[in-house]
Copies of this chain bind each other. A is one copy, B any other.
Amino acid sequence: MARDPASAVERSADPSALSLGPLSGVLGYHLAQASVTTDDLFERYIGQPLGLRKVEYSLLVLILANGPLAPKRLSKALALSAPNLTMLLDRLQQRGLLSRERSQVDRRSQNVVLTEEGQRIARASVDAASPMEWALLDRLSRAEHAMLIELLRKVAVR
């Protein structure tokens, strides 16, 4: 990004901080660095308290929001490989958070259904997500938070 405006800006309030050099214009680098913060917050607000990993949380919330879903749709929505998803669903099922029912329409596919306990945990994680996002508001205004998500959606389009 030689001619990119972003790379022209070189901050260095802290002299011990490294120069990013050409990295300053690379979106992927900044996504990874920002994820350090959000991963941290996730762990504190949801992961640790509810014993959920990020993908497990996403799975539960997606099913809660959409009702019973075929694994196929879940794997597409979250960009998970089929074997990966099978393993994740196994673990959540063993934990009693969901069950798998074969579809009557197409007996190859199945519906993943939240149990009572699964719904409880999913709702609890949804509730915990609000304070988690509020914790970002010391770095980002509400408008910036919304804008950031909007821009990320554009990048995520597959």
Residues of A that sit less than 8 Å from B by CB? 1-2, 4-6, 16-39, 41-42, 54, 58, 61-62, 64-66, 69, 73, 77, 79, 126, 129-130, 132-133, 136, 139-140, 142, 144-158
Contact = CB atoms under 8 A, between A and B. Distances in A.
A69 B28 contact: no
A17 B39 CA distance: 26
A1 B130 contact: yes
Contacts of A151: 140, 144, 147-148, 151
A118 to B, nearest CB: 15
A133 B62 contact: no
Contacts of A41: 28
8 cross-chain pairs, A with B, having the tightest CB-CB distances, nearest first: A21-B65, A28-B38, A30-B152, A33-B156, A34-B155, A148-B151, A34-B152, A22-B126
A155 B30 CA distance: 9
Nearest to A153: B30
A146 to B, nearest CB: 5
Contact of A1 (B54, B61, B133): B133
Nearest to A132: B26
A152 B62 contact: no
